[in-house]
């Protein structure tokens, strides 16, 4: 090989660090010779309930049509979402997971001359999609682990095209209140697209709940992204969506692959939206689990960042690497977040009651032995 293909990669891609997913159960089982059934994975903010029965039945029913291409327009799913949120079908972009939508936004609205703003400790996909298109990233220091909206507004320049805000944020679980968000949007020029990533919004209830949808009518530069991967329990299918005005939606659909959401994913997503009981149970189990983890971690003398999502970031009081490794040896997979600038924290996803318990007792044992 006489060519250095790494050096030939597009400029942004040369410095790109691939996304580090949570360790799969099967991989840990292979590495340590453990029984996969005994391993607890609380590393990827997945829904511990398993998928909805309604989603499974819809996929079963869709199987005979697998020889055909999916509906590239996602008619049934968009229709369903439009009804649910009282929006137009022309305001919805379907994605292969909401990560796909985030990438469509970067490709649709930014290039190498653009600046993209996001917060320190924010979701790792924002730097990834920014670098992949060679745009300039502007990372604004966090405040109390969360988004510092005034500082983010102050970072806008002539070259700013996109601002990403995760609400709640992953991996910190922090929330931006509706009032602060509205005040922020009022300050941002309309030519700058603001992305509200609401991957965990279904877990939130009451007055403090994050909800960008009512703001869409007032702020034409707003895009709200949501997903079926978390509370709706369909992470393996890869389906998410963006909501925005019809012009923005048209731009996103120009850069979208025509068949980016497969037919089983579309069928399952349509069906699960009718499964209100599933969502309610997911929220109930999550609230209880969040409380269990918070109490258990505090009982170990550890500091937890208050979370509104289905995970907690906990300061383990030392370099988290060895704690993560110790947990792996005990069959518990959590997520180290050093790559997010949080070397002393671990992110623990909320599991079922017994999984949370297993994680807490493994953590107590690991901390005692270190
Ligand atoms: C999990 C997550 C997503 C969703 O990713 P999908 O591609 O829809 O699975 C998006 N944003 C944040 C902040 C997340 O944590």
Please enumerate, as own/partner, the contacts of 315-321 that have beta carbons within 8 Å and a separation of 24 or more: 315/344, 315/345, 316/344, 316/345, 316/346, 316/363, 316/367, 317/344, 317/367, 318/344, 318/370, 319/343, 319/344, 320/344, 320/345, 320/346
- DSSP helix/strand/coil, 240: strand
In this structure, the residue with its CA closest to atom 10 of ligand 1 is 199
- DSSP helix/strand/coil, 146: strand
Range of the structural domain that residue 249 is part of: 62-272
233-263 in b/e form (b: 16+ CB < 10 A) is bbbebbbbbbbbbeebbebbbeebeeebbbb
Please state, in angstroms and rounded to a whole number, the distance separating the CA atoms of residues 46 and 33. 24
pLDDT at position 269, please? 98
Rounded to the nearest angstrom, the distance between the alpha carbon of 95 and the centre of ligand 1 is: 11
| Any domain includes 56 | no
Same domain, 23 and 106: no
Closest CA to 313 of 336, 288, 339, 332: 336
Q: What's the mean pLDDT when you consider all of the chain?
A: 96
- The band of 22, judged by pLDDT with boundaries at 50, 70 and 90, is confident
Same domain, 268 and 282: no
Mean pLDDT of 53-77: 98
Closest CA to 72 of 56, 54, 91, 96: 96
Please state, in angstroms and rounded to a whole number, the distance separating the CA atoms of residues 298 and 228. 31
Q: Which atom of ligand 1 is nearest to the CA of 239?
A: 8
Same domain, 154 and 301: no
Same domain, 252 and 291: no
- The band of 42, judged by pLDDT with boundaries at 50, 70 and 90, is very high
pLDDT at 207 over 80: no
Q: How many CB atoms lie within 10 A of CB 118?
A: 27
pLDDT at position 178, please? 93
Mean pLDDT of 255-261: 97
Q: Of 272, 300, 317, which marks where a domain is finished?
A: 272
Residue 212 has φ and ψ, to the nearest 5°, of -80, -15
Rounded to the nearest angstrom, the distance between the alpha carbon of 4 and the centre of ligand 1 is: 34
CATH of the domain at 130: 3.40.640.10
Please state, in angstroms and rounded to a whole number, the distance separating the CA atoms of residues 284 and 200. 14
Distance of CA 83 to the CA centre of its chain: 24
pLDDT at 209 over 80: no
Same domain, 180 and 327: no
Give the least confident one: 28-32, 105-109, 155-159: 28-32
Same domain, 108 and 254: yes
Same domain, 210 and 282: no
Q: How many CB atoms lie within 10 A of CB 106?
A: 26
| Any domain includes 55 | no
Please state, in angstroms and rounded to a whole number, the distance separating the CA atoms of residues 136 and 127. 9
Mean pLDDT of 91-118: 98
| Any domain includes 57 | no
CATH of the domain at 37: 3.90.1150.10
Same domain, 43 and 79: no
- The band of 241, judged by pLDDT with boundaries at 50, 70 and 90, is very high
In this structure, the residue with its CA closest to atom 12 of ligand 1 is 199
Please state, in angstroms and rounded to a whole number, the distance separating the CA atoms of residues 28 and 367. 21
Number of domains composing the chain = 2
Mean pLDDT of 223-250: 98
Q: Residues lining ligand 1, judged by CB closer than 6 Å?
A: 45, 97-99, 123, 166, 170, 197, 199, 227, 229-230, 235, 240
- The band of 206, judged by pLDDT with boundaries at 50, 70 and 90, is confident
Same domain, 173 and 312: no
- Model confidence pLDDT, tens digit, residues 160-198: 999 999 999 999 999 999 999 999 999 999 999 999 999
């Amino acid at each position: 090989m006489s060519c250095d293909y790494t050096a030939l990669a597009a400029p942004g891609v040369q410095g790109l660090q691939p996304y580090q997913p949570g360790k799969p159960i099967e991989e840990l089982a292979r590495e340590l010779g453990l029984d996969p059934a005994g391993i607890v994975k609380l590393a990827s903010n997945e829904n511990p309930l398993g998928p909805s029965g309604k989603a499974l039945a819809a996929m079963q029913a869709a199987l005979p049509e697998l020889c055909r291409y999916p509906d590239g327009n996602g008619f049934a799913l968009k229709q369903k979402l439009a009804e649910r949120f009282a929006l137009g079908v022309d305001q919805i972009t379907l994605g292969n997971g909401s990560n796909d939508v985030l990438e469509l936004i970067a490709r649709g609205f930014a290039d190498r001359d653009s600046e993209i703003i996001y917060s320190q400790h924010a979701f790792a996909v924002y730097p990834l999609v920014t670098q992949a298109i060679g745009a300039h990233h502007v990372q604004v220091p966090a405040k109390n682990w969360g988004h510092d909206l005034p500082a983010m507004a102050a970072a806008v320049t002539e070259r700013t095209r996109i601002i990403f805000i995760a609400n709640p944020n992953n991996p910190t679980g922090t929330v931006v209140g509706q009032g602060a968000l509205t005040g922020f949007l009022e300050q941002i020029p309309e030519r700058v697209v603001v992305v509200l990533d609401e991957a965990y919004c279904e877990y939130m209830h009451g007055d403090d709940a994050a909800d960008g949808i009512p703001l869409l009518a007032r702020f034409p530069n707003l895009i709200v992204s949501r997903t079926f991967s978390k509370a709706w329990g369909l992470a393996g299918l890869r389906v998410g969506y963006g909501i925005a005005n019809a012009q923005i939606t048209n731009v996103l659909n120009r850069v979208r692959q025509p068949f980016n959401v497969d037919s089983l994913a579309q069928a399952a997503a349509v069906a699960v939206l009718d499964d209100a009981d599933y969502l309610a149970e997911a929220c109930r189990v999550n609230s209880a689990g969040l409380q269990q983890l918070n109490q258990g971690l505090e009982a170990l003398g550890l500091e937890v960042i208050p979370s509104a999502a289905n995970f907690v970031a906990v300061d383990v009081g030392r370099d988290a690497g060895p704690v993560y490794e110790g947990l792996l040896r005990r069959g518990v997979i959590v997520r180290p977040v050093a790559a997010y600038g949080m070397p002393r924290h671990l992110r623990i996803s909320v599991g079922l009651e017994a999984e949370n318990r297993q994680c807490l007792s493994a953590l107590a044992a690991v901390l005692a032995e270190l």
